[in-house]
């Protein structure tokens, strides 16, 4: 349960809000690199943290993320012509470069210097791991580039998608650290989904529906361990890392690629659910990539030409009551991503947490909220750099392993939880 003011504090990420300032301390995924495939390609509208922006790649391939609207009369530069190292507004011909600097005002003499006095707000945009990342905070506090393993392995080892989720970022992200829902909502997918099936560890999930949880703070966020009974005095541990403010990893299954998410606010009622799959030591197989493109695992099928899932609120998520009744899916919705999204969107665009009734197994969620609140306050009061900004905090891995009963996962899985180049994931 949160008081309304706490709920609003955590949910709102627009400019000037405490959580908005916190988010603006980090590099965030903004677009897929494929959205700006070549020099002078069409610009793309981007809304992030309640700011309307426009991304484009200029004639030299330089990336820009600028205020969407022309400084002259406020028309959307999405209609602009991307040509000769700038984006020209089709209304009166004003032109802007990738830094938002106005470089031409046709109605004014060049010698007047008028153009130099016009500059749109812009943010850095860099490409890494097939993703275009932006940093929307104060330039003097720009941190080093992100070093999440999924975006730093060779491109043939990683695959990332994004989907629109029509609810506040926090209720979406909380699903990523809520390990206790897996035994119910995703029950059917362990044996059916090509990106999960066949792992030796799956049997422990299916044998023990009452996992016991441990939550341990990490430098960048949290480690949430779920343990189930296994043979020979051992526990089967699945360990989920959360890196502040919105990165979550899903513990692996067998040699399947590792997957996880970024939950990035679009505005206070929508977010991007970024979903990645990668393997630390090998290229993804054609079969794996095809399964991801087909919407298996944590990915989804789309409404063609959009990033909106094909199963969405407009069609009741293609609810299949017969499949629900027959137990093929627990909720009647197909696919892990949409099983989560359908329920999280059903909470409403911004979940009212004054009415929720958490239980002890929700401690991961409780602690994540507390860490976010604390970090936002310390940033506001003392300028303290929040956890998760330091790229060292990104070098964490999800893990699944067997440990003797008396070994804490934070000790027994210490090495397994480190992202190390060329070292295979620890998995069962």
Partner 1 sequence: MQSESARMTTAHEAGFRVQAPNSRPRAAKVIALDATAAALLEPISRATWHGAAFFTSMNFTALTTSGQPLDAWLKDVAGHTMNLMSEVAAADFVVVVAGAGEDARAVSVIADACRMHSKTLVGLIVPRADDSDEAITASLKELRPYAKMLVVANGADYIEAMLTALRA
The residues in 254-313 that bind partner 1, with binding defined as CB under 8 A, are: 269, 313
Provide the minimum distance between the beta carbon of 160 and partner 1 in the complex, in angstroms, as a whole number: 27
Binding residue (CB under 8 A) for partner 1 from 59, 207, 306, 315: 315
Which is closer to partner 1, CB of 276 or CB of 409?
Answer: 409
Name which of 129 and 221 has its Cβ closer to partner 1: 221
237 phi and psi angles, rounded to 5 deg: -105, 135
d(CA 75, CA 79): 8
Unique residue bearing structure tokens 């860099």: 126
DSSP structural state of residue 416: T
Q: What is the DSSP letter of 260?
A: E
Per CB under 8 A, contacts with partner 1 among 378-407 are: 405-406
Phi, psi of 300 (to 5 degrees): -135, 165
For partner 1, the closer of residues 290 and 370 by Cβ is: 370
**What CA dihedral angle connects 238, 192, 162 and 388, to 10 degrees?**
0
Interface with partner 1 includes 228 (CB under 8 A)? no
Judged by beta carbon, residue 1 or residue 380, the one nearer partner 1 is 1
Binding-site residue total for partner 1 (CB under 8 A)?
41
- The secondary structure of 350-369 as a DSSP string is S--TTS----GGGHHHHHHH
Query: What burial class does residue 405 get, using C-beta atoms within 10 Å of its C-beta: 0-12 exposed, 13-18 middle, 19+ buried?
Result: exposed
Beta strands in 136-269 (DSSP E): 158-165, 212-217, 221-229, 234-243, 247-250, 258-267
| Least distance CB 134 / partner 1 (angstroms) | 27
Task: Pick the closer one to partner 1 by CB: 14 or 124.
Answer: 14
Site for partner 1 in 339-368 (CB under 8 A): 342, 345-346, 348-350, 352, 355, 357-363, 366-367
Q: Which residues of this chain interact with partner 1, rule CB under 8 A?
A: 1-2, 166-167, 212-217, 269, 313-317, 342, 345-346, 348-350, 352, 355, 357-363, 366-367, 369-371, 405-406, 408, 410-411
């Amino acid at each position: 349960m949160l008081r309304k003011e706490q709920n609003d504090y955590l949910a709102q990420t627009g400019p000037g809000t405490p959580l908005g300032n916190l988010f603006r301390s980090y590099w965030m995924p903004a677009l897929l690199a494929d959205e700006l495939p070549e020099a002078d390609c069409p610009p793309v509208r981007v809304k992030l943290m309640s700011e309307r922006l426009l991304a484009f790649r200029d004639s030299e391939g330089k990336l820009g993320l600028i205020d969407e609207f022309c400084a002259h009369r406020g028309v959307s530069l999405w209609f602009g012509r991307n040509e000769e190292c700038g984006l020209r507004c089709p209304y009166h011909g004003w032109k802007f470069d990738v830094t938002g600097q106005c470089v031409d005002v046709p109605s004014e003499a060049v010698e007047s210097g008028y153009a130099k006095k016009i500059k749109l707000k812009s943010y850095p945009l860099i490409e890494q791991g097939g993703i275009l990342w932006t940093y929307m905070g104060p330039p003097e506090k720009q941190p080093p580039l992100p070093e999440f393993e999924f975006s730093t392995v060779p491109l043939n080892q990683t695959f990332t998608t994004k989907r629109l989720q029509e609810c506040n970022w926090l209720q979406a992200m909380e699903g990523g650290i809520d390990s206790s829902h897996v035994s119910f909502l995703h029950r059917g997918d362990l044996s059916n989904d090509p990106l999960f099936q066949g792992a030796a560890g799956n049997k422990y999930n299916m044998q023990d529906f009452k996992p016991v949880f441990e939550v341990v703070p990490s430098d960048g966020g949290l480690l949430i361990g779920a343990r189930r009974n296994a043979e020979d005095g051992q526990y089967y541990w699945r360990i989920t890392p959360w890196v502040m403010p919105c990165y979550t990893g899903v513990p692996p299954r067998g040699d399947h690629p590792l997957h996880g998410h970024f939950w990035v606010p679009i505005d206070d009622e929508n977010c991007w659910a970024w979903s990645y799959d990668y393997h630390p030591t090998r290229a993804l197989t054609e079969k794996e990539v095809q399964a991801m493109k087909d919407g298996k695992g944590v990915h989804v099928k789309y409404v063609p030409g959009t990033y909106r899932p094909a199963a969405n609120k407009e069609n009741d998520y293609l609810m299949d009551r017969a499949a629900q009744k027959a137990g093929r899916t627990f909720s009647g919705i197909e696919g892990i991503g949409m099983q989560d999204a359908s329920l999280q969107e059903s909470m409403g665009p911004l979940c009212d947490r004054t009415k929720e009734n958490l239980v002890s197994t929700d401690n991961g969620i409780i602690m994540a909220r507390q860490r976010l609140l604390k970090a936002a306050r310390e940033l506001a009061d003392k300028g303290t750099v929040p956890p998760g900004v330091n790229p060292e905090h990104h070098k964490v891995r999800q893990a699944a392993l067997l440990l003797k009963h008396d070994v804490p996962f934070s000790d027994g899985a210490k090495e397994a939880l480190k992202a190390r180049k060329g070292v295979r994931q620890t998995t069962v």
